[in-house]
Structure 1
Amino acid sequence: MSDVIDMLKAKIADFCKYTGEFKVNGNENYQIKFVDDIYEFVFEDDEAYAKELLSPQDILYGLFYVANNGELLLLIKIADEVNILGTILHELVHVYDFIALAEKRNIHNYRKLQEDTFFVLWSEFHASYLMYKYFVELGKDNINPLDVATEIRNKLGNYYDSSEKLDLQTAVNTTVRYYGQYMALQSQFPNDLNKHFQRFYFDRKFLKKYEFLWEHRKVECIMRDMNLWIRILKNLENLQYLLNRAWNVNGNMVLYDWNICLHGGVYDIC
């Protein structure tokens, strides 16, 4: 087991060096805990918190959790289907994002900071982007970028097709993750993939969200333009009605009917 821990520590150090975004001095105040069930662990630590924010039905492979005593924990589920390293790196980005937010706002109550839903959603994008970019770099020689990009789009499409009633919060959370993956892939294969992938957006407002994330891939950028990010997400609120009913005659989401064109130097749906 010690060999595995040493390997994980080496990979974490390599990841942090590769991203170049985190100040790592070896004294970071977080711990990695491997657990059989994340909900049960949180429930035992803080029953009220678990009941309010989580559900026993949630499928959780990893969680950046602020324990009842204030300790920062990366909870990682022990299971065959879990990519241990990928999950650790994803949750690690959340840790560093919130450390940066705490320093910026001079608030070190991390549970309080996690109530900022807008920052949480951006951090989900950031974690997906950096983790995916790192793994693409590791396997770059064996990747067909167009095939992988198509797979990302298909997974997003499958999510939209999964229910006739989609919750807006979940839809935003899901799309920022897939947008992060595609941007990571495109950044590694700029000659093979364009900034925009065809039929990748629900509507113009989701396109605007993508455009914002494209320009705000680092924590200092989101800190600077947080108010704009909040406005963009709030403008999505009236889409809930559309999300519940946006089906075409073939039974698919209208997501598949959109293409991106360049008009007067500005990308738009056509």
Structure 2
Amino acid sequence: MTTTTARATIGLLARKELHDALRNRWFVLYTVIFAVLSLALSWIGLAGGQLYGLAGFGRTTASLINLIMLIVPLMGLTLGALSLALEREQGTLLYVLAQPVVPAEVLLGKLLGLATALTAALSIGFGLSGLLLAWRGSTMGLGAYLGLFGLTILLALLSLSLGLLFSSALPRTATALGSALFAWLLLVFLGDLGLLGSALVLRIPVEQLFTLSLLNPLQVFKIAAILLLRSDLQVLGPAGQYAMHTYGMRLLPLSVGVLLLWSLLPLLPAYLFFRRRGAL
């Protein structure tokens, strides 16, 4: 199969996946929830700014960080977990693989289509929130706001990659979705709280505590997002101060690089599982 034919096949599968995602009621619900909550946080930020003089993109960017860490991984994980497993149960995956396609094209097509859907959903939330701020607030902090949007896209992509890994490795939709939700709980609730508890109980040195934080992509996202807003990580305690002292200005590109690595790592085992399991 030529490169042109492979690209056309991947593009066709991506368009199909994008169409299916837009018809997914859960995806539409996630999009609406994210957009509404983003607008609400922006409005609250404007109201607070009128009282305290802190209106603008910077205040909203800080408010959005925790919302993003809660909702965006859930969106990516569930979409990815349902993509292959649901079609496997419905029998449509068997029909797709019976065509002149290879597993890599199917996986890349699904990844591209779902990534486009997630980017569109997040663009709606950020776009509406940004329009509200530009209309009623100021343009202060616009760079950090746009930087947070880019980091959010990376977080969505790595969550999607993890979801595809569960979907390719597990045969049933319920099992894949349950595993994805369990992974979401681990990432969200074993972040700051889990690291803090482990540090207190096990007396973990600060440099090892920072290394452990890099194993949780949500913590890496949080480090990068905070660095966009301010030049230090004192809010993260000793681990943050150690990271700034050790890496300095290199910490932000290091965090972005770790997020990119997290986005790519699950794809290889996902492909290997999918090639071996196929439609079964």
Q: Which has the higher strand share?
A: 1
Instruction: Determine which structure has more spread, i.e. the larger CA radius of gyration.
Output: 2
TM-score bin (small chain): 0.3 to 0.5
Highest relative contact order (Cα 8 Å, sep 6+), 1 or 2?
2
Q: Which has the higher helix share?
A: 2
- Report the TM-score, using the length of structure 1 for normalisation: 0.33
